[in-house]
Amino acid sequence: MNQRVVIFDTTLRDGEQSPGCSMTVPEKLRMARKLVELGVDIMEAGFPIASQGDFDAVQAVSREYPDVRVAALCRSNKMDVERAGEALAYAKKPVIHTFIATSDIHLKFKLKKSRQEVLEAAVKAIELARTYADDVEFSAEDASRTDPDFLEEITLAVVNAGASTVNLPDTVGYSIPDEYAALIRRMVKAVDDRAIISVHCHDDLGLAVANSLAAVQAGARQIECTINGIGERAGNCSLEEIVMAMHTRRDKLPYTTGINAEHIYAASRLLTSIITFGPQPNKAIVGDNAFAHEAGIHQDGYLKEKSTYEIIDPKTVGVPESKLVLGKHSGRHALKQRCSDLGYELTKEELDVVYHGFTELADRVKGVRNDAIIELVKGSMAKAAIAE
Ligand code: KIV
Ligand code: ZN
């Protein structure tokens, strides 16, 4: 089986539609440029029927970046599909992405439609979308809570109608890895090589990346994800986490993507500067602490050999350097290194004095700054001069 996994980035659509993340057209264009450098295969630029801004964003992004596949989202009805088609009119590589909910819970309470009605709407939307684009994706919203027999029926029906990708979202982040993998395996077998099975996982239980990986191991070949994991509620599968999981654990996950990992950190920072929040400090790969070491034992090991406590060289993802944070758990080795970085080569005796002052200070403050260390070094030197 082909091991290349398509990275479908939905930062500008699912990400953008979550609280604090809305973006103007110029902001989407700036972000799109970074996504192109990053090497995503598909950028979902908006939901054209939702607003004029989203329509304009899809149009602008697809005009500006003709060499990348640009997707527009639409519900499975005529007006939505036509609007998506119009927004992509100038695209060289348009992708029309239609969706409709398929779980009984959504059919009963939200759509008030029967399974047959949903199936017919899905097929009609794909047929119409194919009049605008060859590359058409269907998403069965809430797929993970859908009766698998019905999911297989609708999956085959949309593939017969011309969908080249069928996305099976874990819309509410409810699934667990082996369960989701089993569902994906069944659908991959059903469509064989007639379409790509895609996954789109939300992080309500913190399992979006794990579920997406399990799905790839079960045969999915497209992952929908976002920078910093932004998206509805708890967010989407984080692009940086899933890509680096496959990169770092090639031994167990022998899949490839087109991502240029060295642009990951810059993409994360750019997004942070555009929306209203950044990743939490302990966020994998791009958080402030992702490559920071404070505990003395860790710092000592790291200074002897980085791989003792780092599984990724920060430069691989474009992070300038690892940080040794000097706090109350730090040891002499890291303090000596920091003094040396600051231009002070200390003897063992001088280091003892500085270390003593440092531990007293570190007990009182959360992290000791460089200027405080310099003060301690100068103080110890002054003491040494008086003693002489
Ligand atoms: O979460 C979801 O189901 C979606 C679809 C529209 C793909 O975002
Ligand atoms: Zn979603």
Kindly report, residue by residue over 353-364, the tens digit of the pLDDT.
999 999 999 999
Confidence of residue 268 (pLDDT cuts 50, 70, 90): very high
CA of 98 to the centre of ligand 1 (A): 10
Which residue range forms the structural domain that includes residue 379? 295-387
- Please identify, by atom number, the ligand 1 atom nearest to the C-alpha of residue 236: 1
With tokens 């029927």, the residue in question is 49
Confidence of residue 380 (pLDDT cuts 50, 70, 90): confident
SS3 assignment for 160-227: HHCCCEEECCECCCCCCHHHHHHHHHHHHHHHCCCCEEEEEEECCCCCHHHHHHHHHHCCCCEEEEEH
Residue 236: burial class (beta carbons within 10 Å; 0-12, 13-18, 19+)? buried
Same domain, 182 and 50: yes
What is the model's pLDDT at position 379? 86
Choice among 53-62, 267-276, 323-332 with the minimum mean pLDDT: 323-332
Q: Is residue 280 part of a domain?
A: no
Q: Is residue 348 part of a domain?
A: yes
Which of 204, 221, 302, 297 has the alpha carbon at shortest distance from 256?
221
Which carries the bigger pLDDT value, residue 323 or residue 288?
A: 288
Q: Is residue 116 part of a domain?
A: yes
Q: Per-residue pLDDT tens for 103-121?
A: 999 999 999 999 999 999 9
Mutate to test the pocket of ligand 1, among 141, 166, 170, 211 (most ligand atoms within 8 A of CB): 141
- Please identify, by atom number, the ligand 1 atom nearest to the C-alpha of residue 13: 8
Same domain, 90 and 211: yes
Where residue 45 falls (left for φ over 0; alpha for ψ -120 to 50; beta otherwise) is: alpha
Q: Which two tokens stand for residue 289?
A: 């602490």
Same domain, 263 and 380: no
Shortest-distance Cα residue to atom 7 of ligand 1? 139
Same domain, 321 and 230: no
**Domains contained in the chain, number:** 2
Q: Is residue 66 part of a domain?
A: yes
Does the pLDDT value for residue 228 go beyond 80?
yes
Last residue of a domain, one of 239, 274, 309: 274
CATH number of the domain that residue 61 is part of? 3.20.20.70
Same domain, 90 and 205: yes
DSSP-assigned beta bridge partners for residue 71: 44, 95
Same domain, 78 and 182: yes
CA of 179 to the centre of ligand 1 (A): 19
Q: Is residue 132 part of a domain?
A: yes
Does the pLDDT value for residue 386 go beyond 80?
no
Same domain, 309 and 260: no
Question: What is the C-alpha separation between 339 and 354, in angstroms, rounded?
Answer: 10
Q: Specify whether the CB–CB gap between 37 and 68 falls below 8 A.
A: no
Same domain, 135 and 241: yes
Same domain, 68 and 197: yes
CA of 339 to the centre of ligand 2 (A): 48
Dihedrals phi, psi of 289, to nearest 5 degrees: -95, 5
Tell me what the pLDDT averaged over the chain comes to: 96
Same domain, 204 and 128: yes
What is the model's pLDDT at position 156? 98
Residue 248: burial class (beta carbons within 10 Å; 0-12, 13-18, 19+)? middle
Ligand 1 pocket by Cβ (under 6 Å): 14, 99, 139, 141, 167, 169, 171, 200, 202
Query: pTM score, two decimals?
Result: 0.93
What are the residues whose beta carbon lies below 5 Å from ligand 2 (ion)? 14
The angle at the Cα of 165, spanning 163 to 168, to the nearest 5 degrees, equals 115
What is the model's pLDDT at position 382? 77
What is the model's pLDDT at position 388? 63
Last residue of a domain, one of 243, 274, 305: 274
Q: Per-residue pLDDT tens for 139-174?
A: 999 999 999 999 999 999 999 999 999 999 999 999
| Share of the chain residues as helix, strand and coil, in percent rounded to the nearest 5 | 50, 15, 35
Q: Is residue 29 part of a domain?
A: yes
Same domain, 166 and 34: yes
Question: What is the C-alpha separation between 251 and 371, in angstroms, rounded?
Answer: 44
- Please identify, by atom number, the ligand 1 atom nearest to the C-alpha of residue 73: 6
What is the model's pLDDT at position 384? 66
Same domain, 267 and 199: yes
What is the model's pLDDT at position 342? 85
Q: Which two tokens stand for residue 160?
A: 């017969």
